[in-house]
A and B are shown apart, each in its own frame.
Chain A
Amino acid sequence: MSNPHSSHDVPQQSFLRKYVFSLDHKVIGRQYLDLSLVAVTTGMILSWLMRLHLGWPTKAIPFLGAISPEAAGGIITPEYYLSLMTMHGTIMVFFVLTTAPFAGFGNFILPLQIGAEDMAFPRFNMMSFWVTFVAFVVLLAAFFVPEGPPLSGWTAYAPLSAVGKDAGPGQGWGQTLWVISIAIFCIAQLLGSLNFIATTLDLRTKGMTLARMPFSTWAWFITSVIGLIAFSVLLPACILLLLDRVAGTSFFIPSGLVISDRLQPHSGGSPLLWQHLFWFFGHPEVYIAILPGFGIISQILPAVARKPLLGPRVFIGCLIAIAFLSYTVWGHHMFMSGMNPFSATVFSVPTLIITIPAAIATLLWIGTLYGARLRFTTAALFCLGFISVFVSGGLSGFFLAQPAIDSYLHGTYFVVGHFHFVMGVAAMFGIFAATYFWFPKIYGRMMNETLGKWHFILTFVGVYCIFMPMHYLGLSGNVRRYSSFTVDYMKGSVPLHRFITVAALFTGAVQLIFFYNLFRSRFRGQVATENPWEATSLEWTTSSPPPHDNFGGRLPVVYHGPNEYGVAGKDGDYIMQDSPEPEQRASVSIA
């Protein structure tokens, strides 16, 4: 097999090969991160527009009319609001929460952490990124098609998403492009997951047993297994939906629909089939977004607490348990969908049970803090913030997991608050922690810690001001996906919506600190050493940034697990994974 990295010396490469169609996992990882940076900015701007509209529905938004023909005069129409919401959800879930923590950081760090020169299939890896890129471009193109951008939500429930133009604006080319984009994205993720799994199984360096694998690598590995199964179901689902839209089939469209006074030429399809297929993917997708965060937190926490993670094997057991259970719970999204009410009870049990491994993991993190010597780097703060928001969002899940309570809260802002905390903000905090932690390894320069700390504190307060009040709105029956609140009993919630809007704009503005820090540090930051955080895993044994072949012609040999902190090692209170010195028991005093 040809190995593009078989030589230590970087071969002369064309500009295209080096920076655009690169086969180097580090370049590809950075490309993924840059793509998700563009995506997250887009998604955030969309959320601002939505929030502005919810707070002040009649106010025109300056410049908006000039950018987007759908919002003439800067006024957000009900259908434009739904488009913003659909695109926000789709971009954030697929192109940020899946792309950044999994494909981005996973690509850059995983081969380094297992001591490999590259991924198992560099060409697939390159294709995976560029296919993702195409998917993103196709999705954005939906903004500019004649019938308007799609508005069926990121869940694209049939038959609204399947019947085409008759169902109103956004149901023409916009929705078709949405389906095509997601199908393309599935292919990219399947290629990526295949690569992650094969790399982890086959390319671990000498001594890197599964038990010695860093927690983040474990999490990426398990995430890729989940992704492989989830996306290989979403892809067929998207193909069926596309055929219903363009080829006149009736997979999801039942008989006798009258839309825009026209009897639809379809018969016999099952709308619930789409929901089952979608949520069979959709719920595991939540764990695809959050499990890399689990791994990142568990990887960073010992390094900043200067002590081993509590119960490392228990933690990995939790990851595996979550992966299995994630495939048994999809029906909890469908309690109100008209499926058999018995199955609601059946789905409710694993939904509640899956909280046990999640709760154990959380307790392990909190337990790790006990007796620590915490260094409050920005990465550490985001880890701590992750624990806090994950607890908040996780607990509100207890309400929604119970069908009886869900019959009140389903479809309200309670759900919005819940999933933004538990998969949005928590995963985002994982991304931030990873960025501050691995930035020196990726770009060879340190980020500014003072700016980082301001960024954290303000963001932390901001997200609580945005998403905690959504729970209150939900309790009072405020329905989500409404472009304004004309219903009498919801009018009272407008002041709280204004508060949330102000908080969202504030938190968004705070991210400018992050962007500034990110770009400035890339070029002007303090030059990073090999191992600035005194961490133990293999990526910290090579230069920052690593050479083209990762370890400069040698392959490291591993003697230790990733969890050896709080010991008397030769360099300090830790032992590098590749250090041949003998293993030690952590020099701890038992409380």
Chain B
Amino acid sequence: MMNSMAIESRPETARTGVWIGIATISMSFAAYTSALIVRQGANPDWVHFKVPPVLYFNTLVVLASSVTLYLAAGGGPQDPQLVELPATRARREIKWIYLTLGLGLLFLLGQIIAWRDLSSQGITLASSPSSSFFYLLTAAHGLHLLGGLGGLLFVAHRIARRSASQALRAYRAASLYWHFMAALWVYVFVLLAVRI
């Protein structure tokens, strides 16, 4: 039996959940990283290769998607009194969200191109430990990013419903996750570029 006040004062559990999720994902990437370092040091069978050039482009794409998602909120502070989103604003916000979504898909497409590029050179999952880690890390990141795409769809859905507070909560949670995905990609990319 929660009245609207209670809903307003409810803590942002979704955002808390995303923070905890970030901790989890960071921990598992820390595990992959330490496995990579140990494995590289264990034996001299590490084969260095150049990361596919499309990944540089992809890094720009994922960073750009972070910016477009930021712009979806209009960039400014939200009016806490606002109950219903004005239709024009909702349309504008959804446009930015879809742009972000498009960039996310473009990024995934880029990852697939990178994989095809490598496999055409004979660098496959099992061909050397360095390539194993390359496929593993990019796939793990890509899967997590897919979850972020789902989050963006949810935000668009919420904005379309035009309840200002619900849309804002969804946006704050999903965007936190999305920015983290961008940062995680930068980490993975640097790790791969340096180690592989």
Contacts and interface: CB of A to CB of B under 8 A. Distances in A.
Contacts of A268: 39, 42-45, 129
A71 interface: no
B28 A120 contact: no
A270 interface: yes
12 contacts: A1-B10, A124-B17, A195-B17, A202-B16, A228-B23, A232-B25, A232-B28, A233-B31, A239-B140, A249-B126, A250-B132, A280-B31
A567 interface: no
- Size class of the B contact interface (CB-based, 8 Å): 35 or more
B1 A202 contact: no
Given A198-B13, A228-B24, A8 B31 contact: no
A243 B132 contact: yes
**The 7 residue pairs across chains A and B that have the minimum distance between CB atoms:** A268-B43, A248-B126, A268-B45, A202-B11, A270-B42, A232-B27, A120-B13
Nearest to B45: A268
A237 B36 CA distance: 12
B60 interface: no
| Most interface-central of B12, B16, B23, B45 (chain A CB within 10 A) | B16
B71 interface: no
Contact of A120 (B16, B35, B43): B16
Given A254-B43, A273-B42, A201 B28 contact: no
A236 B16 contact: no
Contact of B28 (A124, A202, A233, A276): A233
Interface in B4-25: 7, 10-14, 16-17, 20-21, 23-25
A247 B35 CA distance: 17
B125 A247 contact: yes
A194 B27 contact: no
B14 to A, nearest CB: 7
A316 interface: no
B136 A228 contact: no
B98 interface: no
Interface string A176-192: 00000000000000100
Contact of B39 (A239, A270, A553): A270
A355 B19 CA distance: 32
B38 A228 contact: no
A3 B2 contact: yes
Contacts of A267: 43, 45
Interface string A192-218: 011101110111000000000000000
Contacts of A587: none
B140 to A, nearest CB: 8
Nearest to B125: A247
Given A190-B24, A269-B42, 15 more contacts: A198-B20, A202-B16, A228-B23, A229-B23, A239-B136, A243-B132, A247-B125, A248-B125, A249-B132, A251-B39, A254-B43, A268-B44, A270-B39, A270-B43, A273-B39
A246 to B, nearest CB: 10
Nearest to A553: B1
A397 B2 CA distance: 51
Interface string A471-496: 00000000000000000000000000
A229 B39 contact: no
A1 B1 CA distance: 14
A391 interface: no
Interface in A257-278: 267-270, 273, 276-277
B1 A7 contact: yes
B27 A1 contact: no
B28 A236 contact: yes
A305 B169 CA distance: 46
A450 interface: no
A203 B125 contact: no
Contacts of B45: 255, 267-268
A235 interface: yes
B31 A277 contact: yes
Nearest to A124: B17
B28 to A, nearest CB: 4
Contacts, number: 116
Contact of A255 (B10, B43, B126, B170): B43
B43 A277 contact: no
B59 to A, nearest CB: 23
Interface in A350-379: none
B35 A240 contact: yes
Contacts of A1: 7, 10, 13-14, 166, 169-170
A267 B43 CA distance: 9
A243 B136 contact: yes
Contacts of A3: 2
A8 B13 CA distance: 21
B155 to A, nearest CB: 12
Given A203-B11, A268-B129, A270-B43, A236 B17 contact: no
B132 A251 contact: yes
B23 to A, nearest CB: 7
Interface in A143-168: none
Contacts of A553: 1
Contacts of B17: 120-121, 124, 194-195, 198
A25 B159 CA distance: 29
A343 interface: no
B16 A201 contact: yes
A526 interface: no
A6 B16 CA distance: 20
Nearest to A239: B136
Given A255-B45, A267-B43, A6 B35 contact: no
Nearest to A234: B31
Contacts of B10: 1, 202
Given A249-B126, A269-B39, A273-B39, A232 B24 contact: yes
Contacts of B39: 251, 268-270, 273
A384 B38 CA distance: 45
Contacts of B16: 120, 197-198, 201-202
B146 to A, nearest CB: 15
A261 B126 CA distance: 23
Contacts of A233: 27-28, 30-31
Interface in B117-172: 125-126, 129, 132, 136, 140, 166, 169-170
A554 B166 CA distance: 24
Contacts of A198: 13, 16-17, 20
A575 B32 CA distance: 50
Given A198-B20, A243-B136, A121 B13 contact: yes
B82 to A, nearest CB: 17
A272 B190 CA distance: 27
